[in-house]
Amino acid sequence: MAARWLSASGQSTVDLDVTLFVELNELHRATAILLESGCDLDPEAACWQARDRGTFRVRHSGIPIDVFVPDIPLYAAARKRRRKVELEGRSLWIWAPEDLILFKLLYFRRKDEADVEAILSIQGQSVERDYVRGWLIDMVGEGDPRVTFWDALLREIEGQGM
């Protein structure tokens, strides 16, 4: 949803992404709270997946929710930079565009590439491009295809005068 909001693409989303800032030793407590709130999940499987992959999936009212548990340093930086917005009369925290771009580039699926392009297209010069590139190189290395993609995208956008 944040990618749609930041990109203003109007592209519909069929799931929700949530970051749960919780220590791994408190996962059982967190999954109990999710169950109490009406989420459908297997607490043991969710805890295992969170420890193994840094993410697990639940459902609430039929809506799939991908729950991310911070497991890399980027989360701490992103948490400090997140922004509070109003959406449909409710306050919620969303990632800064740069951090959302970084999370998208970590997964690096075609739909993530499209989201990154849309975010850059709409957010324009307000995106801190050096911040993104610096973190990207720290996480995946200068020779990684994600860095190549980012650099090529910036050249393309700059060629369009954005």
> pLDDT per residue over 68-123, tens digit each?
999 899 999 999 999 999 999 999 999 999 999 999 999 999 999 999 999 999 99
Distance CA 55, CA 58 (A): 10
> pLDDT per residue over 12-43, tens digit each?
567 899 999 998 899 999 999 999 999 999 99
Q: Which amino acid is at 62?
A: G
Distance CA 45, CA 51 (A): 10
Distance CA 147, CA 105 (A): 9
